[in-house]
Amino acid sequence: MPAIQREGVTIHYTDQGAGPIVVVLMHSFLCDGAMWTPQLPVLAERVRVINVDFRGHGQSGHVQTPFSVYDLLDDVVAVLDALEIDQAIWAGLSIGGMVALRAALTYPQRVSGLVVLDSHAGTEPLPVKIKYRALGLGARLFGLQPFVPAILPLMFGQTTRSRNTSLVLAWKARFTQLDVPSIWCGLQALLSRNLIVGRLPEIKVPALVMVGAEDTALPVACSREIATGLQDAEFVVIPEAGHLATLEQPEAVSRAMLSFLSRHWR
């Protein structure tokens, strides 16, 4: 399976489709590239798709050393460099969207467009930081399994939890298998991210901002703030979806992405 080494960590990715237009996919915290499974074949029919597992997630290497969202950004840039890809449309959900926005600010020449789902340009309020750090410390002491019931409502909307229990149970099993030291490092990266709301107007590339209507982890207002701050953004609310909109309402997400690509990259 394709991978690169950066700072002693294996960064796994997949490479599907072909053509001059490249979309790089980045997943949510606690997930991996499998979060994009419904979109992969649809996108690969018309563009080249690079799907990256962040360090500490999926098939990438486990980590015990602290890192930041900018380290995740540089991991993705290193993958693109290895593939000799100069520019891509960066698509990310949650922490993946945070990385995508910072890519457009840090390496604007590498970003031709943005797709940002269920994300945030701000920082977490102090009560949320305290709550998440408490969950993280508990997981370090007792493992993740006791805390998965608290994680599921953050990841899936009420509609999904009541109507698509097979999806929820499948990902519940995946969450229990996560490497706790890696997740602790990832949580610190997430909670220590810097505020970039004021810099959003610097981003001039076309953007599609989507959010699940039932997202409680990063509610609709967070994504609306991103869309409002960007110079050229479309804003779409996905009904009956929570945080993991790509899995909960895959057809709606795929349709919006294809429409966005068609309008800007013919």
Asked if 3 contacts 28 with a C-beta cutoff of 8 angstroms, the reply is no
User: What does the pLDDT profile of the chain (266 residues) look like in tens digits?
Assistant: 799 999 999 999 999 999 999 999 999 999 999 999 999 999 999 999 999 999 999 999 999 999 999 999 999 999 999 999 999 999 999 999 999 999 999 999 999 999 999 999 999 888 888 888 888 888 887 878 888 899 999 999 999 999 999 999 999 999 999 999 999 999 999 999 999 999 999 999 999 999 999 999 999 999 999 999 999 999 999 999 999 999 999 999 999 999 999 999 87
Q: Which pLDDT score is estimated for 45?
A: 96
Q: Which pLDDT score is estimated for 140?
A: 80
CA distances to 76, 183, 222 from 69, rounded to whole Å, are 11, 13, 18
Instruction: For residue 177, give the DSSP letter.
Output: T
* Bridging pattern class, strands 3-6 and 9-16: antiparallel
Residue 141 belongs to a domain with what CATH number? 3.40.50.1820
| pTM for this predicted structure | 0.96
Q: Which pLDDT score is estimated for 186?
A: 93
Name the packing angle between helices 69-82 and 95-106 (round to 10°). 70
CA 109, CA 196: separation in Å to the nearest integer?
19
Q: Which pLDDT score is estimated for 152?
A: 96
DSSP H stretches of helix in the chain: 40-44, 69-82, 95-106, 126-142, 148-155, 158-163, 165-176, 180-191, 220-229, 245-248, 250-264
CA 160, CA 153: separation in Å to the nearest integer?
10
Q: Which pLDDT score is estimated for 139?
A: 80
Asked if 176 contacts 51 with a C-beta cutoff of 8 angstroms, the reply is no
The residue segments making up the domain with residue 116 are 3-264
Domain count, the chain: 1
